[in-house]
Amino acid sequence: MRQSLSKGDITYTTAASSSSSADDKYILKPIPSGHGRVTKLAIALSLLTVASLIVRESWNFQEVTRNSVGKFGSGSFKEGQEYFRLLDTDHMDNYIEDGEDALRETAERVKDACEYTHEQYEKEPKPVAKTKALVTGGAGFIGSRLVKELLRVGYDVVVLDNMSTGKESFLAKKATLVRGDCRDYETVFKTIEEHEPFVVFHLAAQSKVLPSLKKGVDFVQFSIEQNVLATENVLKAIVQTRHASSDSGDGSANAKYVDRKNQPSGLHHPQHHKARKSFKGVQKFVYAGSSTFYGNNLRNLPFQENSKYNVLQHKTASTSPYATTKAMGETIVKLYSESYHVPTIILRLFMVFGPNEPSEGLDGVVTGKFLKQFKANEDLKIEGSGNHFRDFVHVDDVARAFVLAAQSSIEQNGHVFNVGSGKLKTINEIAELVQPDEKKRTHVAKRKNDLIGTLASTCEAKKQLGFVAKLDIEDWVLSQKV
């Protein structure tokens, strides 16, 4: 039976109290202990990096687009002025309303080349025994479903989560929950050292675009802390724990919560710890990236993993603190892979939907919001024209992709894979699925800097991981209306 920890055990700097508003978790608070001057310097450098990227690209983006050659998408637009107007960041927001017919045509015509290649590639995760996995952010929407899949396959699972957005009710009872924040290096180090995972899945992050657009300068720093510094902490701890490990915190094989209040100090000095010869270090690291990496890159739909056009290289209308810092996280993953030989894989997740999806506030997923409005007999609120389109992929398919990535035998040196369905739906189509009555669907103000469209190329994931998305969004949405 699980026991509650007292507030003194771990400090949660981003968790909202029960009386707080839904947005309180985004208010910038002090970083957990254990960072010091190095972390403050890293934050300053990261802020300068983001600023320099935006300034640099605001100067060269127009020239880049006007020197480009080719047709938009799969031929929906002719070469010439309209094509370049579409790519011009000054007109990107207006495009959706000005070019609805062309956008609809694009959504109908652009296709993933591997959309229908299933049976020859499809694989299932292999059963395992006595293999431990650590999932950061494992109590959240996606993380909790990954935990469920790992347990099903046979892994022993440890979850590290600060519970700012995660919920204990999402977690399977067999999982060990460590309450802590990945921004606190000491917490991450001790968790890995104590539990000795074979594989680490890093999902802890600030996980949505919209909050990062709403909160201003403070949220830029918050995004950097969550998506960049926390990622670096996990990777650094993986390297450090190769050399040292301490005994388990409470010695109980049955303990489901870990109390580290009285753990020994000396974190940054591995010689202070009693080495465990049996622990060979973390052998695999899988990072949850984002399809926002590609920006409003409509010329190259469907998005391929080797695309050179991305939010770090070009100023696009979709650039946000979230998109930029998630891409910076990828850079850090690759850096650690190259410099310290950490075996890493990056999965770029597209629009994830499914059980436990957020349904309100800045974190809300469009399917969750629509279904909640439908069940409350409210009008569905569609932002803008509703002709935005997304590649929707079920959370349980995403969970399976993570396990397949961890079990793959490919060279794990920062290899990137898209995790999507290879199919797209417009927001209007999703709204119509949820609410067939047109009179109950209303349009509200468009969201500035929103992505116009996403679609994954699924070829690499199918051929190298054996990942095929199986669960259809139409079937799932209809099942939730009952």
End-to-end Cα distance, the chain: 34
Q: What is the pLDDT of residue 297?
A: 76
Cα–Cα nearest to 416, from 322, 352, 349: 349
> What is the rounded CA–CA span in Å between residue 388 and residue 428?
8
Q: What is the pLDDT of residue 410?
A: 86
Give the β-pairing of 344-349 and 392-394.
Answer: unpaired
> What is the rounded CA–CA span in Å between residue 239 and residue 243?
8
Q: Which CATH architecture has domain 32-480?
A: 3-Layer(aba) Sandwich (3.40)
Q: What is the pLDDT of residue 243?
A: 67
Cα–Cα nearest to 333, from 321, 320, 342, 322: 342
> What is the rounded CA–CA span in Å between residue 323 and residue 212?
9
E strands present in 209-272: none
**In angstroms, what CA-CA distances link 11 with 22, 23, 208, 405?**
20, 19, 24, 33
Q: Print burial letters for 322-360: b (CB count within 10 Å at least 16), e (below 16).
A: bbbbbbbbbebbbebbeeeebbbbbbbbbbbbbebbbbe
Cα–Cα nearest to 222, from 12, 23, 27: 27
Q: Strand order of the sheet with strand 132-136?
A: 176-179, 156-161, 132-136, 199-202, 284-290, 344-349, 413-419
Element (H, E) at 161: strand 156-161
3-state secondary structure of 53: helix
Task: Give, for all 482 residues of the chain, the pLDDT tens digit.
Answer: 433 333 333 333 233 333 344 444 444 444 455 454 545 555 555 555 555 554 444 333 333 333 332 333 333 333 333 433 444 433 444 444 445 566 666 666 788 888 877 778 899 999 999 999 999 999 999 999 999 999 999 999 999 999 988 999 999 999 999 999 999 999 999 999 999 999 999 999 976 555 545 555 577 888 899 999 999 999 999 999 986 544 444 333 333 444 333 333 333 434 444 445 578 899 999 999 999 999 887 778 899 999 888 888 876 555 678 888 999 999 999 999 999 999 999 999 999 999 999 888 777 899 999 999 999 999 999 999 999 899 999 999 999 999 999 999 988 889 999 999 999 999 999 999 999 999 999 999 987 777 889 999 999 999 999 999 999 999 999 999 98
> What is the rounded CA–CA span in Å between residue 352 and residue 392?
6
Strand partners, 201: 135, 286
Q: What is the pLDDT of residue 111?
A: 85
Cα–Cα nearest to 14, from 27, 1, 3: 27
Residue corresponding to tokens 């919560």: 257
Strand partners, 349: 290, 419
